[in-house]
Amino acid sequence: IRRPLILAIESSCDETAAALVDGNGALLADVVASQVDFHARFGGVVPEIASRKHIEAICGVCDECFDVAATTLAVPKLTWEDLDAVAVTYAPGLVGALVVGVAFAKGAAWAADKPFIGVHHLEGHLYANKIGAPDFAPPAVVSLVSGGNTLLVHVKDWGDYETLGATIDDAVGEAFDKVAKALGLGYPGGPAISRHAKEGDPDAIAFPRAMMHSGDLRFSLSGLKTAVVTYLNNERAAGREVDVADVCASFQQAVVDVQVKKARMALEQTGAPTFCLGGGVAANPALRDAYQALCEQMGVRLVLPPFSACGDNAGMIALVALDRYRQGRFFGLDADAQAHANL
């Protein structure tokens, strides 16, 4: 066994996850229990349900994580006593959901007398790029796009981040979810929209590209969502049939155009040689293709997290925790969950 062995827990939204990393940065186990089916019938994540489901799932997820890691290492059993540290996502996210993971991890660290490490969720999404590309290293620009966040960050070094711009209203994933809801495509909306978009014409409907020419790196998504809803209402009122594929493709193209434009600006502004992505929306094929084209054109290295590591997972949290352990940067047991925290 290559030490340190660290177990990391993630519970910031609607995924209860645990992962075990070794001193080589190898993920010996990476377990995710998704609650998405419980939230789907409400059309979005219900915070109270998320908290309760985390409580139900967390012990089982950690047990499974130990079992999988024991099998990977070909040892009979692994327990909390075998660890060198316990890590957890402490911010940002739904505070009731975060509290479950934080309280559980602190309890486990205290009982087993192990150091406790708090990890920022968005730093986890950045580190997810290491899962597919172990040689990935700063300096870089990262685009973090999920259901709750949309920002561009200059990664000057590991742990040295400058936020270049963020959304002033909705997150990109939120826009996908709201548009999907308006189209009756269910929750989560991103995967459904990208599936339908493949069959549609991205130039069929001219939806707005907000902040395209703002000259800064901020985003705005709520106007685009309203434009789609207004279009749907007008078409329905006029008795015209809506082409769902065309709406999806045109909406997605409006998102991609602004994302790519701002990514180009961020790369020009920072001179960073590498661009990478993180968060649930990083799984969007059209966005990935557009960044591929941009980076080829600019001579910039593109690093993408594997599809399986775009959504919330604890593997990415474990990789951050490994760096913190090596730096000796631990949290006290008085640390708390936080809904908001700067990267």
On whether the CB atoms of residues 317 and 19 are closer than 8 A, the answer is: yes
**31 has binding-site annotation:** no
Q: Please choose, out of 66-74, 140-148, 235-243, 296-304, the segment that lies near ligand KG4 by the rule CB under 6 A.
A: 140-148
- Owner of token pair 């986890």: 124
Q: Are 20 and 79 in contact (CB under 8 A)?
A: no
Query: Using the rule CB under 6 A, is 148 a contact of ligand KG4?
Result: yes
Stretch that binds ligand KG4, among 106-114, 203-211, 235-243, 279-287 (CB under 6 A): 279-287
280 binds ligand KG4 (CB under 6 A): yes
* Footprint on residues 284-323 left by ligand KG4 (CB under 6 A): 284, 311-312
25 phi/psi in degrees, rounded to 5: 80, 15
The gap between the terminal CA atoms of the chain, to the nearest Å, is 32
Rg (CA), the chain: 21
Q: Which of 125, 53, 119, 155 is nearest to 330 (CA)?
A: 119
* Amino acid sitting at position 150: T
- Is 146 annotated to bind a ligand? Reply is yes
281 is annotated as contributing to ligand binding = no
Q: Which of 92, 115, 124, 190 binds ligand KG4 (CB under 6 A)?
A: 190
191 binds ligand KG4 (CB under 6 A): yes
Q: Is 188 in the site for ligand KG4 (CB under 6 A)?
A: yes
Consult the annotation and say whether 23 binds a ligand: no
Based on CB atoms, which residue is closest to ligand KG4, 200 or 279?
A: 279
- Give the tokens for residue 18: 């645990």
Percent helix, strand, coil in the chain, to 5, is 45, 20, 35
CB of 83 to ligand KG4, least distance (A): 26
Backbone angles phi, psi at 208, to 5 degrees: -70, 150
Please say whether the beta carbons of 111 and 80 come within 8 A: yes
Q: Which is nearer to ligand KG4, 118 or 280 (CB)?
A: 280
User: Which residues are documented as binding site for Fe cation?
Assistant: 121, 125, 312
**Positions in the binding site for ligand KG4 (CB under 6 A):** 13, 146-148, 173, 176-177, 188-191, 194, 279-281, 283-284, 311-312
User: Which residues are documented as binding site for substrate?
Assistant: 144-148, 177, 190, 284
